[in-house]
Amino acid sequence: MLREVTATRYVEPLHSGGSVPGVVEADDLGTYVVKFTGSAQGRKALVAEVVVGELARALGLRFPELVLVNFDPELAAHEPHQEVRDLLNASPGVNLGMDFLPGARDFTPEAAKGFAVDPLEAGRIVWLDALTANVDRTVHSSNLMIWPTSGTVPPRLWLIDHGAALVFHHRWDTSEPAKAYDFRHHALGQYAPDVRAADARLAPLVTRELLRTVLARVPDAWLAEEPDFAGPEQVRAAYVDYLAARVAASAAWLPTDFPGRAELAAEEARRAARTQAGRPDWLKRVPDLHGKPAAEQDWSVHLE
């Protein structure tokens, strides 16, 4: 099982994520980003966090330690936002915490300038995402952090946020282990990820024994809501069977076709043009903030 701690102080919510995780301090003197069982994403998102995160670490990728956090909603009685209070009040007991990386910054095109991405490491991250059907590590939302950002230790890529992975566990009866997903717009696709080398190195490591070890770290309560299975152990076995079959079928889903920077820029320009063309005249004067960060917008053309 994962290590257990008890929350001693609720610091603040993080509104940047759809699940509204919160920063808490715990009785081991650690600080954690906690995802709560009462979030709209449900407990399957927490299962995905544990499975993918623990697989990442077992395969030598950088991922913060996960812990089970015993949480008393009374710790957050001072929280001013009713929506956040409702979430916390619905999440007493065991929740999932990820070690907080102080000072870490998001891996964005701006932050990545001057940051060297190793094609071998990029390939291993893409391979893990393809194995676990993690469709939420894109050029628009990388779910990667650069850390540390100061001191003598060089900055490295850290993986976070895998709640959207394991899409197959939402439809067990129609899932195909050999299914390919569109990873052309993966956050690391433009860094020449060596996915074939990653497949050769990592596939033999993802054994049924490793998968059973990883699934054993998921609390029974988070697996108990599967209506088509006779208890948590049968659910764990289904995850092991599916992922083992997917590893064996890697030749069918291995992503190898990634657009370069120029192609990505051209696609983004076409998307922005389509968006702009579909706007009414009055809205065409409003900046398209989805095209690039607000700091990079040419606001002068909208303020004439």
Regarding whether 144 and 87 lie in a shared domain, the answer is no
User: Last residue of some domain: 35, 67, 99?
Assistant: 99
Regarding whether 179 and 53 lie in a shared domain, the answer is no
CA-wise closest residue to 218 among 79, 90, 59, 44: 44
- Three-class SS of residue 240? helix
pLDDT given for residue 284 in this prediction? 58
Domain count across the chain? 3
Q: Which helix (H) or strand (E) holds 66?
A: strand 66-71
User: Last residue of some domain: 99, 118, 142?
Assistant: 99
Angle, vertex CA 71, rays to CA 67 and CA 77, nearest 5? 140
Regarding whether 278 and 187 lie in a shared domain, the answer is no
Q: What is the pLDDT along the chain (304 residues), one digit of tens a residue?
A: 899 999 999 999 998 767 899 999 999 999 999 999 999 999 999 999 999 999 999 999 999 999 999 999 999 999 999 999 999 999 999 999 999 999 999 999 888 888 999 999 999 999 999 999 999 999 989 999 999 998 899 999 999 999 999 999 999 988 899 999 999 999 999 999 999 999 999 999 999 999 999 999 999 999 998 888 999 999 999 999 999 999 999 999 999 999 877 887 787 788 778 877 776 765 555 555 444 444 444 433 333 3
Regarding whether 129 and 31 lie in a shared domain, the answer is no
Radius of gyration of the chain (CA): 21
Query: What does the alpha-carbon distance between residue 189 and residue 229 come to, in Å, rounded to a whole number?
Result: 37
pLDDT given for residue 290 in this prediction? 47
Is residue 103 a contact partner of residue 148, using CB atoms and an 8 Å limit? yes
Q: Using alpha carbons, list the distances in angstroms from residue 116 to 139, 166, 187, 195, 196.
A: 16, 29, 14, 18, 20
pLDDT given for residue 120 in this prediction? 98
Domain span at 289: 261-302
pLDDT given for residue 285 in this prediction? 57
pLDDT given for residue 304 in this prediction? 34
| pTM metric for this prediction | 0.88
- The single-letter code of the amino acid at 195 is V
Regarding whether 225 and 173 lie in a shared domain, the answer is yes
User: Last residue of some domain: 80, 99, 118?
Assistant: 99
